[in-house]
Structures are given as C-alpha cells and as structure tokens.
A and B are shown apart, each in its own frame.
Chain A
Amino acid sequence: MQIDRTIAPEAHAIKNVQLIRPQTQVLSNGIPFFALRAGSQQVLRLEFIFDAGIRKQNRSLIASITNAMLVEGTPTKTAQQIAEMFDYYGAFIQPEIDNDRASLTLHCLTSSFAKVFPLLKEILEEATFPEKELKTNLDKGRQQFVVNQSKVDYLARQRFMEAVFGMENPYGRQTREADFNTLSRAALLDFHAENYQASGLTIIASGQFGDDIREIIDNSIGQWSISGSVEKNWTPGEYPAPTKLFIEKPDAIQTGIRIGRRMVNKTHADFAGLQVLNTALGGYFGSRLMANIREDKGYTYGIGSAVVSLEKEGYFFIATEVGADVAKDAVAEIYKEIQLLREKTIPVEELQMVKNYMLGSFLRNSDGPFAMADRFKALHFYGLDYSHYDRFLNTVNTITAQEIKDLAIKYLNPGDMTEILAGKS
C-alpha cells in the first residue's frame, strides 16, 4: 500500500485538560495548607512560600541572600551539618526567590518526609544566618556578579528592568558590585523578622502522600502564633519615559538586544489576548521573529518574546543575541515585525496554528502533580480562581485576527518601547 506522504494525518481537536485542584486544609493557626495529590511516583514536593520576594526589599541583595541563607545555620547545626542531613536522606532542600515570593522547597521520597521534617522545622523557626556563611555567600555572589558583567545578555536584561521600572521601583532597582560589600548580618535578621512571618506563609504539598503529612506539619508549624500582617503599600515610584540605551562592550562579537515596555498583568482582561499576540510575534519556535531573524536571515541562534506577569506590575520584552555586525539590521527587522502586526490582520491559518500550539502547550504545562501545583500557585497569589483558566482557554479559542491587531495597536506602539543594546558599537 502506497501512502501519500504529502498529506498530513487527520488532526483532532485538542481536548481541554482536567486540572486537578488542591484540597485546602488550613492549619490550626490559620496558615493555608494546600494538598495536591497526583502522579504515580511516591514522591513529595513541599513548598513553604513567604511573602518575602525581591519586591519587599528596600536595598538590593537582601531578599535573595536572606533566602539563600535560610539553610546555612541554626543554633545547633552548621551549614555543613544541615546539608549533610538532607543529602543523607536523599532529599533536596532549595531556597528559591523571585520578584514576588521567597520559598523553601523540599523534594524527597514520600517515605523520607518524617525523617527530614524536624530539620526543616528547625530551619524555619531558628535560622541564625552565621557571619562566616554570609561572607562566603557574598564573595560567591560578587564573583558571579562580576562574571555576569561580561555577558551581553545579562547587561541588557539588567539595564532593561531599570529603564522600564525605574530605580525607585523594587522590580527595577538593580544590584551594583558595591552592594556586596555593605550587606550586614543585622540587616538580614531584620529582613527575616519582618518578612518571614507566619501571616505571610503559604504551604503547598504536591505528589503522592498521606494525611500524616499535614498532621506532622500542623503539630509544629500549625502551632505558631500569628501576629498581624505587615502588608506595606505598593510604592512603584515614578515610571521613566521610554528610552534607548547602548552599553559599550568593546570586545563583544555579539550584541545583546532587549526591547520592551511595561504592560498589564494577568489580572487584566487584555492579558490572555496579549499572550496570543505575543506567541505569534515571538513566543514559540514558529514565531514571526524566529522565522524572520533566525530562520530567514540567520542573524541569531535564538530570539523570543514574552509577556510577564508580576504581582504588582507586568512587562513585555523581546530578547536576542545577534552578530555584532548585524545588530542594527536585527533591530530594524524586529520593529518591522511589530509594525506588521499593527497594520495587517494575521492570516487565518497562522492564527489557527498559534491557537493550537497554545492549547497544546497548556496541556503540556499542566502535566503531572508539580505542574498542576504550579498552575494553582499562578492563580493563588493574584487572588484569581480556576475560572481564570476557563477564560484564558476561551480567549485562545475565540479571539479574532482583528482583535489581535487591535491589541497590537494598543500595546505595541514602537514609540512606547524601551530599547537596550549591549555590545560593540
């Protein structure tokens, strides 16, 4: 039987995913505990998430170093002993921080949980932030920072956030090398006392586990006393006007490019549509930016764009590294692609491809217990519920080419863009 290989197999509509939602099991003292059971492996991910992200700091570095040093000492254990114990039980303990939240995450075989929890509890209650470990962390951090200064993509990224949000805005304020010399242990202790409070804690467990997990946690952390929360007013400062900057890096053979602007976040009605627009422009391998600047011109190894939601802000950016000799041409092509989306409606076939790609991605990124817990987290801290995803999927399914063009006209005005280049002029 001869098959006609020029004809694609029949395509089937992409089904909606059944997201497993966590059970809410508030601890005795009111700390929210969410349990999401899914998957076939007997593994557990347990996240202690504090309202102690980078946005809460009033000087740079303090949030991330405080977070990193949670596991570096208690009154009875050194950093080495703590690491040794987690490692011995095959468990992974990871301090993690982003712009909005700081967390301590445990990954372990479910059977090991009871053995490692006492140490986790000790860290949460009695971290001591030893001077010696602080020095090691600052030295390490400073060297990494200095190394990063020779990377054009890093330079462009750092300056971009500063240029878009401003130095007064906690999302915009960037680290300087001198910051590594002035951070004191006392400052860490203050930041910790103020921001790692029971009132700002959320616990999320995902994987396969029994009810004993919550019980063990409730017997200790559920007994913490809770004082009033200290939600400070959001003070974004003044937003700078769009700007164009060139960071000189004389020996660079590639130029780092970052172009973008402040934008609405996921609580805004336009956000889902903007995600469709962004996907078409630079959000996947088949995007217009990739098709033009990589696959047609060969200027770069990769180019992409994203709409990013932060709890208090949002932004949009395009990022790439291109050969130094074609940097100008690449920038011109980027604006050309933006203009095209503002001037012409996107062809039906392309729009359908973008939509199906996004529906497939939604499915892919909802697969397994941890991905589903991430889906929950992405709603929870914005005060959204699961109907947000219904609206998102509905927008993806129904948005028209005209609506996408309208969004491009409204949000992608080249005059609103901040443009940062780092490389050889």
Chain B
Amino acid sequence: MIQFERFTLANGLRVLVHRDESTPIVAFNLLYDVGARDEDEKRTGFAHLFEHLMFGGSVNIPDFDKPLHAVGGTSNAFTNNDITNYYVTLPVDNLETAFWLDSDRMLSLAFSEKSLEVQRNVVIEEFKQRYLNQPYGDVWLLLRPLAYAEHPYKWATIGKEIKHIEDATLQDVRDFFGTHYIPSNGILCVAGNITTEQIKTLSEKWFGPIPAKTRKERKLPKEPTQTEARSLTVKRDVPYPAFYRAWHMDKRDSESFYACDLMSDILSRGKSSRLYDQLVREKKLFSEINAFITGDLDEGLFVVSGKLNEGVKMEDAETGVELALDELRTTLIPENELEKVKNKVETTKAFNDMSVLDKAMELCYFELLGDANRVNHEIDRYKKVTAADILKVAQSILRKENSSTLYYYPNH
C-alpha cells in the first residue's frame, strides 16, 4: 500500500506527497501531460527534442545540472508518445534545490540559439545511435506507420525523420513551451522522508507564483477500425530475418487492458511461457521471441516480435506463431497458468515499490490516469481477470484483419 496525500495549487499544478521515512534520498518527479502524440505531423520528434532543451538553462538559472550536482543530486527525464517525465533524486536536506530548479524551468526557459543548435545535433546522434546504426533499430519507424493510419501514434517519439529535427526553430520551441509547459499540465510527486506541510510550503513558494494558463483541449484523430490485414516487407543489413506482428487493442483505461497484459505474459513472460517453450525450445523456429503491449494511453498495440533461427523459413515461423495464438483463441487457459502470471505481477509490484523514485513515478502516472490511488488497486484488476476474459480478448484482438505485419529480411 502506497500512502499519499494530494493538493492542487491555485494555478492548477497537482501535487502528491508520499512519506517514506526509511531513506535519506528524496525523489522529485514532475510529469507533464504532453508527448509525441501532441505533435504536428510535419514537426515530429519535438516533444523529445524539447525534453533535451529543458536541461539547457531556464530564465533565471543558466545551468540546470550544475547546481543540482553541487548539492548531491542527479536528474534525468524520458519522453514517450503520451507523456514527458522529469525526475530528480537528491539528499532530502537539499530538497528545496529541486523546487528551485524545476519551478524556474516551468516559469520560462532561456531559449538560447546555442542550446537549440547543440541539442538538435545531440538528438540527431541519438536518432542514429538508437534507430539507424543498430541492427533492427528502425523497426518502430516502420511498424508504427503501418499499424496506424490516422492517430499520431503512427510516428515514433524520436520523430519520423531526422529532417524534422533539423528544421526545428526557436519559435517552435517557444510555442511548444507556451502551449504545454503550464502548471495545470503538470503533476508533481515528492517521495521521501518529508511531510505534506513542508511540501505545501515549498510548492506554494516556488510553483505558486507561476501564472495559470488555460489548457488547450486535446483533439486527436481517432484511429479508424482496421478492416484488412496489412504487411510490409523490408531488407536490411542484418544477419537474420525477423518477424513483427501488431494488433490494435483497447486504451490504457479500459477493462480489457488487464486481460491483454496478462495474455502477453502467458505468451512470453519467462522461460515457462508458451512462445518461448514452443517456438524457441521445442520447434527451434526462433532464437528469441516476445509478446508485449505498448501500454499507451490511447488505443495501443499488442505485439509479437521474434528473430528467426538460422535457416528457418519466414512462413514456418509465422505458422508457428499463429498456431500458438490459435490455442489462445480457441481454448480457455488452465487456471494454474493464469494463477502463475498473476503471481508474477504481484511479486514484480512488491519489488517495484521499494524505491522512492519508482513510487513517485507510479503515483504521477496514475494521477494522470485519473486517480493516484489506483496504484494500490491495479493488482486487484489483474486478479479479477478470468480465463474467459483472456479468451475473449484473444478472439476480438488477435484477428487477421486487425493485424499489421513487418517481414524483416537480411539483404542477402
């Protein structure tokens, strides 16, 4: 059970406080309700580029990291299709430094040309390092636009292409900041050996004076129902063929989400899972295979991906996967198998809840979903899932017309 208290500042910033007396470290996590899905299709990769610029100095403080390092702290951030999440951990005695730094960059950035130019280059190198210069690195650049026709999930967080990042201007940066980096778009959680009173005082002092701004309503195109199977075949400089198939599933905040998540565990969590046992160990069709959900807030994807064993034909690998899925589509999974994946979820949760940073991130995320207290009830929602629920999602989601397949072949 993660206990917490919450309050909202007059400018709309939501604040959560979790007390954990056992640690000298405090976690300061600030989630902004903005991600790659909020980008203009002609300027993708911007939410993520912007995350980099948030470390390039703010209106009153020329450098973000130095003053933080100087008091024993460290910081990082991540961006995905839905959110941008900034976090700081530091010795609890120096907590106020985090309030000072993060409130100043919510107030306003430095907007320096030099910082933009350098971070454009850094992000372009990140694009190359993670997506272009890695074997199989461009899979998501290919699979997203195949699976999505309309919804902005059709581009990856890093962006559609390097050119979009090259073209970013300082005016784009200012506009993006003005629209999205406003108090009512933020959720702050402080976790550690602190009191709610103390956090109220610090929040009022540092974040309170930041003017409120009206949130722009989010109007994203809804992905039309897919009616026909799609596929794409590519050749790349890789040693082995790989197979990727994605199906549309329901959004994060839906009942079927939990059944889908458990279904992916049944298929590939651990070495006793179905796909590993049948396709890696027994039939030796794949050297590695995974089933997972993207877990996006809007309607996401259920994905099976695998690298073929040397000499295996693509159609045999594909048939192997579909045979395993047929079992799910036609037969109720045994109770003990369902029990197994639920137990695993429970253990994972217990180990997750050991660090103040993990707890702070989770609280912010569930607050974004509507109620931070859901963090304590997720496990019940997993436990409620029945074998019939899984049969139902297998039948409704794992359909051919709902699928997009990427066949990834070596050049020679």
Contact = CB atoms under 8 A, between A and B. Distances in A.
Interface stretch (B39-47, B96-104, B318-326): B96-104
A144 B134 contact: no
Contacts of B307: 143, 147
A151 interface: yes
B119 interface: yes
Interface string B87-127: 00111011011011001100100000000011111111110
B237 A356 contact: no
Contact of A360 (B76, B91, B346): B91
Given A139-B310, A143-B309, A356-B70, A3 B209 contact: yes
Given A90-B345, A107-B347, A357-B72, 9 more contacts: A8-B97, A84-B272, A87-B343, A147-B240, A300-B122, A301-B122, A353-B70, A360-B73, A360-B90
A284 B72 CA distance: 12
Interface string A362-387: 01100111100000000000000000
B355 A368 contact: yes
A31 B310 CA distance: 44
B310 A322 contact: no
B181 to A, nearest CB: 16
Nearest to A322: B125
7 contacts: A5-B60, A11-B97, A140-B287, A143-B240, A147-B238, A151-B135, A254-B125
Interface stretch (A40-48, A56-64, A121-129, A197-205): A40-48
Interface in A146-174: 146-147, 149-152
A15 B91 contact: yes
* Residue from B75, B130, B277, B346 with most neighbouring chain A CB atoms (10 Å): B277
Nearest to B134: A151
Interface stretch (A267-275, A290-298, A332-340): A290-298
A39 interface: yes
Contact of A6 (B61, B70, B354): B61
Contact of B287 (A143, A152, A294): A143
B122 A88 contact: no
Nearest to A136: B281
A150 B237 contact: yes
A368 B336 CA distance: 33
Given A11-B97, A43-B351, A284 B272 contact: no
A41 B346 CA distance: 12
Contacts of A80: 271-272, 277, 281
B288 interface: yes
Interface string B321-338: 000000000000000100
Given A143-B310, A368-B23, A14 B72 contact: yes
Interface string B256-280: 0000000000000111110001001
Contacts of B273: 87
Contacts of A43: 347, 350-351, 354
A216 interface: no
Contact of B93 (A12, A109, A253): A12
A421 interface: no
Nearest to B237: A251
A352 to B, nearest CB: 7
Given A11-B71, A14-B91, A359-B72, A253 B128 contact: yes
Interface of B: 20, 22-25, 59-61, 65-67, 69-76, 89-91, 93-94, 96-97, 99-100, 103-104, 107, 117-126, 128-130, 132-136, 205-206, 209, 237-240, 269-273, 277, 280-281, 284, 287-288, 307, 309-310, 336, 339-341, 343-347, 350-351, 353-355
**10 closest Cβ contacts across the A-B interface?**
A360-B72, A298-B121, A90-B343, A83-B272, A9-B96, A90-B347, A83-B271, A301-B126, A12-B93, A5-B60
Interface in A227-262: 251-254
Contacts of A42: 350
Nearest to A353: B70
Interface size of A as a range: 35 or more
A9 B237 CA distance: 53
A152 B272 CA distance: 34
B288 to A, nearest CB: 7
Contacts of B355: 367-368
A342 B24 CA distance: 36
B160 to A, nearest CB: 18
A69 B384 CA distance: 36
A341 interface: no
Contacts of B310: 139, 143
* Residue from A15, A352, A360, A370 with most neighbouring chain B CB atoms (10 Å): A360
Nearest to A250: B237
Contacts of B124: 298, 323
A330 to B, nearest CB: 11
Interface in A59-80: 71, 79-80
Contact of A323 (B71, B128, B287, B288): B128
Contacts of A144: 287-288
A361 interface: yes
B24 A17 contact: yes
A258 to B, nearest CB: 15
A363 B117 CA distance: 35
A285 interface: yes
Contacts of A318: none
B132 A253 contact: yes
A83 B395 CA distance: 28
A90 B383 CA distance: 14
B133 A321 contact: yes
Nearest to B21: A40
Contacts of B126: 301
Nearest to B76: A285
A252 B341 CA distance: 41
B347 A285 contact: no
B239 A143 contact: yes
Interface in A90-105: 90-92
